Amino acid sequence: MTPEQFTLALAALGWKQSDFCRKTGVSKNTPSRWVNGETPIQSWVPAYLGAMQDLADLHAKYVIPDSPK
């Protein structure tokens, strides 16, 4: 995952870097190091963000009711 892909994945979820930190328990400085290219993005991050996006999609499809027509 590139820093740009990480940023786009957060945006797709409507998350800030601080949200990611709170949900995953990583240090508050870790995502900024990834985005700035200071350290590589860990291998579990794309899978985690993909799973969270899948959950968000399922929530939108099955939990949020359709608007009345």
pLDDT in tens, 4-47: 999 999 999 999 999 999 999 999 999 999 999 999 999 999 99
Q: How many domains does the chain have?
A: 1
Stated pTM of the model: 0.85
Q: Is residue 16 part of a domain?
A: yes
In order, the DSSP letters of 32-64 are HHHHTTSSPPPTHHHHHHHHHHHHHHHIIIIIS
* 19, 26 Cβ separation under 8 angstroms: no
Does 68 fall in a domain?
no
Contact 12, 53 (CB under 8 A): yes
Would you say residue 69 lies in a domain? no
pLDDT for the residue numbered 68: 62
